[in-house]
Amino acid sequence: MGLGNPGPRYELSRHNIGYHVTDLIMQKPPMRLRRRLFASYFYLRLFNFTDRKSIVLIRSAGYMNNSGDILPSVMRRYRFTPEDFIVIVDNIDLPPGVCRLKKGGGDAGHNGLKSLISRMGSSDFYRLYIGVGRPAAGVSVVDHVLGNPEADDSRKILQACVRAADAIKSLADKPVSRVMEELNRREYS
């Protein structure tokens, strides 16, 4: 599940990391998200045709702070449990370009995660964090995450998004524990 905010105003912002990663996953071969009539989310089901294992990409049609609102519908439709989710999200506590995949934890003040935990009733889902760095002195966290990164940080964040997209695609063939180990042991700059 890629977290972000809809609309051109937020398109390149640090907060739209989840949207960036889902876009990268859909580039090769070209794919696009679908939306069921009256649904409040977009989805795309990817299959590994060898054993019919599937990955479902999901993006809310609403804003980050209300990301959890789609969960009852998504969990019912796909019969997901909290452990089935990997949420792709920005993290200000990681330097730009660093990826970390972990299971469980709190919301760390992230309103998208807070909404998901509240609606899911559990924090036992995976989080694929992509570092966006901390704000500069005098810049609020909100302005930082809703702002666009500078050129050097943008390059690092894009590289992290590519690694994250590759990691998500590799879940069709590898267990999440192995993907986590491979992604977390590498440092990039």
Instruction: State residue 95's pLDDT score.
Output: 95
Residue 115 and residue 68 in contact, taking contact as beta carbons nearer than 8 Å: yes
* Residue 113 phi, psi (nearest 5): -65, -40
Distance, CA of 34 to CA of 81 (rounded, Å): 22
Cis peptide, bond prior to residue 29, ω within 30 of zero: yes
What is the residue whose two structure tokens read 């997209």?
165
User: Which one from 15, 20, 110, 144 is the annotated catalytic residue?
Assistant: 15
15 is an active site residue? yes
**Counting Cβ atoms within 10 Å, is residue 172 exposed (0-12), middle (13-18) or buried (19+)?**
middle
Q: Are strands 99-103 and 86-91 parallel, antiparallel or unpaired?
A: unpaired
Instruction: State residue 99's pLDDT score.
Output: 94
Distance, CA of 131 to CA of 122 (rounded, Å): 24
Q: Which of 3, 2, 14 is nearest to 135 (CA)?
A: 14
What are the mean pLDDT values of the chain's consecutive 10-residue runs (189 residues total)?
Answer: 93 94 85 76 70 77 91 88 93 95 93 94 95 95 95 95 92 88 76
Full set of structural domains in the chain with CATH: 14-184 (3.40.50.1470)
Could you please report the per-residue DSSP string of 128-165? EEEE--PPPTT--HHHHHHSPPPHHHHHHHHHHHHHHH
Residue 45 and residue 54 in contact, taking contact as beta carbons nearer than 8 Å: yes
Kindly provide the b/e burial profile for residues 72-95, where b requires at least 16 CB atoms within 10 angstroms of the residue's own CB.
eebbeeeebebeebbbbbbbbebb
